[in-house]
Amino acid sequence: MTRARIAVLASGSGSNLQALIDHFRAIGASRAGDIVLVASNRTDAGALERGARAGIVTDVVVGDATLVDLLAAHRIDLVVLAGYLKLIPPDVTQRFAGRMINVHPAPLPAFGGAGMYGVHAHRAVLASGVSMSGPTVHFVDEVFDHGAIIAHWPVPVLHGDDEHTLAARVLRAEHLLFPRALQAVASGAVSLTEAGRVSAPFFQPLPAPFDPSCTDEELGARLDAALG
């Protein structure tokens, strides 16, 4: 099977990018795609440095036309948004419908939309009084945090949490869930139907909440078992 050519777009430090790189390296020949491009709308984004260290081509997106040209030049099959804080232009989302995914650090649709990113999302979760937060992976459309949900992993909100402690716990879950969701989409195990729905209902919801007392290795093994 031909591997999907993947572009990762990121605006920040690139910790989710690193999780994707590390996971795809770990699964070796069984991976369904190769990250061939890392791009950012910020010249100082740490993600660019992480990509360069991994031997991946990096570039800076200076406008919508640049993004279109970049994706075409690198023959990209699948676009991954990993903390990319710029709205993707409609011509790109339409061209990559069902082939563009994003990870959001809170439950959707309750805690999504313009301005609801990073600590802002975590503050909103805490202010709401809900007992569970957690990352959501979804297909991307023309609206912030709006596309069909691929997977959500519930993460407990603990007594005494602030936006920083909650963010750290959710980020651990992101780093485990996001690479596995990408593998599922790249392999075709999960796709977007013509009706705009996710094809694999077993991927949502996951059967058990994130357990912060477990190691990442234990959590990863449980996630792999749950996802089949």
Point out the catalytic residue in the list 104, 122, 138, 175. 104
Q: How far is it between the farthest Cα atoms of the chain?
A: 49
- Is beta strand 132-133 parallel, antiparallel or unpaired with respect to 136-139? unpaired
CATH code: domain 4-226 is 3.40.50.170
Element (H, E) at 81: strand 78-81
pLDDT at 208: 80
**The pair of three-digit structure tokens given for residue 223, joined into one six-digit string:** 């996630």
104 among known catalytic residues: yes
**How is the chain split into domains, by residue range?**
4-226
Quick check: 180 and 227 in contact, CB under 8 A? yes
Reading the chain (228 residues) residue by residue, the pLDDT tens digits are: 689 999 999 999 999 999 999 999 999 999 999 999 999 999 999 999 999 999 999 999 988 778 999 999 999 999 999 999 898 999 999 999 999 999 999 999 999 998 899 999 999 999 999 999 999 999 999 998 889 999 999 999 999 999 999 999 999 999 999 999 999 999 999 999 988 888 875 555 566 889 999 999 999 998 888 776
The rounded distance, in Å, linking the Cα atoms of 153 and 177 is 8
Q: Can you name the residues that pair with 103 across neighbouring β-strands? A: 137
Quick check: 151 and 203 in contact, CB under 8 A? yes
Phi and psi angles of residue 101, each rounded to the nearest 5 degrees, phi first: -130, 160
